[in-house]
Amino acid sequence: MKVDVDIGLARPREARGIAVLSREVIETGLDWAWTPGRVLRAMADASTNVIVAREAGLAHPIGFAIMSYGEQEAHLQLFAVVPARRRAGVGSELLQWLEATARTAGIGVIRLETRDTNRVAHWFYRSHSYVEVDRLRGYYQGSEDALRFAKDLLAAP
């Protein structure tokens, strides 16, 4: 079932919830790298967007993304949707917001990494026209490989 969400920039008071969701669904089994302080620093960085998906009536965001922007490329650093809201269009809406923003900024490519074992993420990104471009050995704290994906926004419809 599709969930009706509002996508927008994260507020400082949402940093803790973003960090906790990262810890629970992305950083499982790793040291906690995306702490509330680091999320707040990302929010304050002019070359980074921290966005959230908000569902009416809920106190905490149901999804988020953190993406940094360079001259020609963007790096999707972190991306998650709460498990109860997956496969309801939330992730797709977050990704579409990021891609539209990148295109507006003149960015040609978005790159990202996922855990080698995260088959659901691989499927999700492939379904949005991202292609696997590299394997990074020991990328996650030396303990797990990553797959790097990229999307050429200039070639994408």
Residues 6+ apart with CB under 8 A from 103: 153
Q: Where are the domains of the chain?
A: 5-152
Residues of the chain under the 50 pLDDT cut: none
Measured distance between the N- and C-terminal CA atoms of the chain, rounded to whole angstroms:
26
C-alpha 144, offset from chain centre = 19
Residues 40-55 have pLDDT tens digits of: 999 999 999 999 988 8
| Predicted local confidence at residue 88, as pLDDT | 59
| Predicted local confidence at residue 85, as pLDDT | 67
Task: Please give the sequence-ordered ranges of beta strands (E in DSSP) within 32-143, or none if there are none.
Answer: 48-55, 63-69, 73-81, 109-115, 131-140
The answer to whether residues 88 and 3 touch, using CB atoms and an 8 Å cutoff, is yes
Report the greatest alpha carbon distance in the chain: 42
The answer to whether residues 49 and 70 touch, using CB atoms and an 8 Å cutoff, is no
Distance between CA 140 and CA 31 in Å, rounded? 10
33 backbone dihedrals φ, ψ, rounded to 5°: -95, -40
Q: Record the pTM.
A: 0.91
Specify the fold of 5-152: Aminopeptidase (3.40.630)
Distance between CA 69 and CA 35 in Å, rounded? 21
